[in-house]
Amino acid sequence: MADKSFLSWPFFADYHADFANGLETWAGANLNHINHADTDAACRKLVTDLGDAGWLQHTCADEGECFDVRALCLTRETLARHDGLADFAFAMQGLGMGALSLFGSPEQKSEWLPLTRTGKAIAGFALTEPQSGSDVANSTMTAILDGDHYVLNGEKTWISNGGIADVYTVFARTGDAPGARGLSAFVMAANTSGLEVVERLHTIAPHPLATLRFTDCRIPVSALIGAQGAGFKIAMSVLDVFRSTVAAAALGFARRALDEALARVTTRQVQGAPLANLQMVQGHIADMALDIDAAALLVYRAAWAKDNGAARITREAAMAKLFSTDQAQQVIDKAVQLHGGDGVRSGQMVERLYREIRALRIYEGASDVQRVVIARQVMNEFSGG
Ligand code: COS
């Protein structure tokens, strides 16, 4: 049974524990038979099921609302502990519509958010390009104003939900301003003429991923999110919120790995006694529990800060993502080791976790990008900026 003592930490409001316990019950009853062989179908069903059960409510913020980042993190932590694909399906509804939640007009919000928060539409976030993953400011996709439309041309890759999404947030260059200042954000229906899936991408922990090509995609000027030229800051603000939730997902994977390891070492016999009797094994268990608690403190510090009105949580979210994803990798590796040969056997939970965790140290800002972000924030604060 995963440790729940953190729910009494002062980061949370009273309702958060009930919320987490309710989701735990639902996840225990509904996430045991997901067909991972067909990830498109599985994700569609997961979005529908999560929507029907009301668990997507926190993925977006309607007019006059703010994100409940603690609820987002609790949801990702809980879902990830049960099933990585369920966490993915949930997370993308939030990231995909994050720019609309934070910066969308009332009309844009009312068109899309009631659909994504009930699981009736699937969302995607189209930022990365073949030549600009970490270096967002050098994105090259264009959006040229033509009368009362923008015309989008270019390619986006590593797009989660690419191929199954109904709506995308798309970032493109609208002006001559160089680098970060020339980017704008748009909301675009997936059935817009000129949008095609040119490749489906296959990874060690499969989920829907694709390269998208935009050829003369005409979208109305009303699809612009926020101001023209504000796209980079919009992308970064969305990532500030969702990076702490990536950290929460890693925390969920790590907690599951510790549970699996505890079940193993308390039952597996060596020389007539449980593995857990060996001090070397206890040392591993202690390190795993310590990493998990430290990650949880950083995750919920970031979420609490945002929920309590911090304008930016750039530093807190980057610290949470860097630490939690890197340490979850270590925790899971130890769990694999404690399982011996069974740890690398296909179909074992720890084997699945070992594959699931790796991408979290890369997507939504690789670990070294987080180090850059943290160092800049710390140096800036030191020099009074
Ligand atoms: N929130 C709001 N504004 C932000 C911001 C944030 N978190 N981070 C930067 N900005 C602003 C800066 O203040 C700056 O504004 P001014 O021009 O008004 O001073 C502007 O945006 C440009 O910032 P900066 O100079 O730091 O941009 P860089 O091009 O140097 O980029 C990194 C910095 C590398 C940190 C950024 O590109 C990044 O996070 N990359 C990773 C992207 C990523 O996560 N990709 C995955 C895609 S989604 S799976």
Summarize pLDDT for 26-39 with one digit per residue, the tens. Answer: 999 999 989 999 99
| Nearest CA owner, ligand 1 atom 21 | 233
- Cα 16 to ligand 1 centre (Å): 31
- Cα 296 to ligand 1 centre (Å): 25
Query: If pLDDT is split at 50, 70 and 90, which confidence band does 65 have?
Result: confident
| Nearest CA owner, ligand 1 atom 38 | 134
Q: Which numbered atom of ligand 1 lies nearest the CA of 160?
A: 49
Q: For residue 238, how many other CB atoms are within 10 A of its CB?
A: 25
Mutate to test the pocket of ligand 1, among 95, 232, 372, 373 (most ligand atoms within 8 A of CB): 232
Nearest to 229 by CA among 187, 179, 189, 188: 179
Look over the chain and give the mean of its residue pLDDT values, rounded to a whole number.
Answer: 96
Q: Taking CB atoms and a 6 Å cutoff, what residues make up the pocket around ligand 1? A: 127-128, 133-134, 136-137, 180, 232-233, 236-237, 239-240, 312, 314, 363-365, 369, 372-373
Q: Which numbered atom of ligand 1 lies nearest the CA of 312?
A: 1
Instruction: Kindly state the percentage of the chain with pLDDT values over 70.
Output: 99
Can you tell me the distance from the alpha carbon of 209 to that of 285, in angstroms, rounded to the nearest whole number? 35
Cβ neighbourhood burial of 309 (10 Å; 0-12, 13-18, 19+): exposed
Instruction: Kindly state the percentage of the chain with pLDDT values over 90.
Output: 96
Q: For residue 357, how many other CB atoms are within 10 A of its CB?
A: 25
* Cα end-to-end distance, the chain, whole Å: 45
Across-strand partners of 187? 169
Can you tell me the distance from the alpha carbon of 385 to that of 378, in angstroms, rounded to the nearest whole number? 10
Crossing angle for the helix pair 279-307 and 314-338, nearest 10 degrees?
A: 160
| Nearest CA owner, ligand 1 atom 22 | 180
Can you tell me the distance from the alpha carbon of 351 to that of 357, in angstroms, rounded to the nearest whole number? 10
Query: Model pTM?
Result: 0.96
Can you tell me the distance from the alpha carbon of 265 to that of 263, in angstroms, rounded to the nearest whole number? 6
- Cα 136 to ligand 1 centre (Å): 8
Which residue has 């003592």 as its token pair? 5
147 CB-near residues (< 8 Å, 6+ apart): none
pLDDT mean over 267-291:
97
Nearest to 73 by CA among 316, 300, 297: 300
Domains of the chain are 5-116 (1.10.540.10), 123-229 (2.40.110.10), 232-382 (1.20.140.10)
Q: Which numbered atom of ligand 1 lies nearest the CA of 95?
A: 48
Can you tell me the distance from the alpha carbon of 107 to that of 222, in angstroms, rounded to the nearest whole number? 9
Q: Which numbered atom of ligand 1 lies nearest the CA of 314?
A: 7
- Cα 236 to ligand 1 centre (Å): 6
Joined tokens for residue 310: 């911090």
Whether the per-residue pLDDT at 167 is higher than 80: the answer is yes
Question: Given 65, 111, 364, 381, which residue is catalytic?
Answer: 364
| Nearest CA owner, ligand 1 atom 7 | 236
Whether the per-residue pLDDT at 149 is higher than 80: the answer is yes
pLDDT of residue 144: 97
Query: If pLDDT is split at 50, 70 and 90, which confidence band does 88 have?
Result: very high
Furthest CA-CA distance within the chain: 80
| Nearest CA owner, ligand 1 atom 11 | 233
Query: If pLDDT is split at 50, 70 and 90, which confidence band does 187 have?
Result: very high
pLDDT of residue 1: 66
pLDDT mean over 190-210:
97
- Is residue 364 among the annotated active site residues? yes
Can you tell me the distance from the alpha carbon of 184 to that of 216, in angstroms, rounded to the nearest whole number? 17
Across-strand partners of 273? 270
- Cα 300 to ligand 1 centre (Å): 23
- Cα 273 to ligand 1 centre (Å): 54
Burial 34-72 (b: 16+ CB within 10 A, else e): beeeebeebbbbbbbbbbeeebbebbbbeeeeebbbbbb
Whether the per-residue pLDDT at 176 is higher than 80: the answer is no
